[in-house]
Structure 1
Amino acid sequence: MIAFLTGRVAARGVASAVIDVGGVGMTVQCTPSALSRLHVGETGTVATSLVVREDSLALFGFADEDEKYLFERLQTASGVGPRLALAMLSVHSPSGLRHAVSTEDTAALTRVPGIGKKGAQRIVLELQGKLDAPVPTDGAPPGAGATASAGAPDGAWRGQVVSGLVNLGWSAKDAEAAASAVASEAEETDDVAALLRSALRRLSRA
């Protein structure tokens, strides 16, 4: 199992990054929080989870061990695969997901593209009491427990937010409108993950 990666960030896209580890480029599909910490040309670290299928190997990256833990626990619910688990962590923070499940807030869960009312009810039923925070262990990647994330360069946040929304299934028109709606928040923070979640909340209320 690949627990984490540390290396030079060779490329960063809307939902993934390529990390050069000892001359090998590893493609990692990441949460917005993880991506916001990675900058091309700089050394970056992500906690990782390897998903093995008969015809593929996929590596998923997270800002810290808690995101990784939630990603793996979410998949214990029927109907929740790695793609949907990643989408859930793109829309909600780990604490937000825990709160939604513990309070049976199915409306919050249906804000995630791909989760309907019945699916949300099933997730709540199957995961209640199973999303406790992991116990810290030795050997975690440097900075794995940090909650703060590096922001995007000035002006870069909008393109990343729009691309992230489109990647999650929203139309380009809706994504642009949501990005415009959170523009005032961007004056106070350039944390792309936070801006993306705020845009998603606005779309879910539309």
Structure 2
Amino acid sequence: MIASLSGTVLKVGLDSIVMGVGGVGMLVHTTPATATSVHLGQPAELATTLVVREDSLTLYGFATEAEKHVFETVQTVSGVGPRLALALLAVLSPDAVRLALGSGDLATLTKVPGIGKKGAERLVLELRDKLGALPGATDAAVPQPKPQHEQWREQVLEALVGLGWTARQADVALDKVAPRAAEGAGVSALLRAALQELGR
């Protein structure tokens, strides 16, 4: 595995860099932001991941270890390959990805080309816990713990599961409607609000 590259920038494209390392020009696929952060003829260092396929060896490069961690982790989800993982990082920073997954923010995730509503839901369900604390994340960006044992939450959760949603899907919706509970909304109103979130 090629974990990192240090060398001279030989060529810069829109989403790729050629780096000279030990007399060899290495093509590295990157986000546009990473490509514009390096300078032709200057030394650079990238965290990298080598993706091995039957017919190809493709190197992906990142400005930070946090980006590399997101890139590798999101590919553990079925249907997410390196191209889609790179597109995710092209649109969102690692912290933005973590916050979107932690809060079930489907609207933010679907801004990424290639990620629809169902794909965003799958990312949230499978990665919410895995990407809970990225390297370099600040305390201010860590979502506050949600109350888990309030009576309204248990009642609405039971109702949603009874309607066919999974407990994890229900939890995502409940996190979004929790502020309404704090404002004094009743169980029926909270159930309707949660159903609206799940129907988006």
Query: TM-score by structure 1 length?
Result: 0.64
> Does structure 2 conserve the Cα–Cα contact (< 8 Å) formed by 1:5 and 1:46?
yes
Q: Please, which runs of 5 or more residues in structure 1 have no aligned partner?
A: 137-206
Q: Please show how residues 165-180 of structure 1 align to structure 2 within 5 Å.
A: none
Q: Please show how residues 1-206 of structure 1 align to structure 2 within 5 Å.
A: 1-133=1-133
Whole-angstrom CA distance in 2 between matches of 1:135 and 1:29: 22
> Does structure 2 conserve the Cα–Cα contact (< 8 Å) formed by 1:9 and 1:44?
yes
Whole-angstrom CA distance in 1 between matches of 2:51 and 2:103: 30
Percent identity over the alignment is: 57
> Does structure 2 conserve the Cα–Cα contact (< 8 Å) formed by 1:37 and 1:44?
no
Deviation at 1:53, TM superposition (A): 0.4
SS of the counterpart of 2:87? helix
Whole-angstrom CA distance in 2 between matches of 1:52 and 1:132: 27
| Cα offsets for 1:17-68 (capped at 9, x unmatched) | 0000011000000123322321100011110000000110000000011100
Q: Please, which runs of 5 or more residues in structure 2 have no aligned partner?
A: 137-200
Whole-angstrom CA distance in 1 between matches of 2:41 and 2:29: 18
- Structure 1 segments, 4+ long, off by >6 Å, are none
> Does structure 2 conserve the Cα–Cα contact (< 8 Å) formed by 1:34 and 1:46?
no
| Cα offsets for 1:82-141 (capped at 9, x unmatched) | 0000000000000000010000001111100001111111111111110144569xxxxx
More helix by share: 2
Bigger relative CO (Cα 8 Å, ≥ 6 apart) = 1
User: What residue identity is the alignment partner of 1:41?
Assistant: G
Query: TM-score by structure 2 length?
Result: 0.66
> Does structure 1 conserve the Cα–Cα contact (< 8 Å) formed by 2:95 and 2:134?
no
Whole-angstrom CA distance in 1 between matches of 2:38 and 2:132: 27
Count of aligned pairs: 136
Whole-angstrom CA distance in 1 between matches of 2:67 and 2:133: 10
Q: How big is the alpha-carbon RMSD for the aligned residues of Structure 1 and Structure 2?
A: 1.3
| Cα offsets for 1:151-193 (capped at 9, x unmatched) | xxxxxxxxxxxxxxxxxxxxxxxxxxxxxxxxxxxxxxxxxxx
> Does structure 1 conserve the Cα–Cα contact (< 8 Å) formed by 2:65 and 2:135?
no
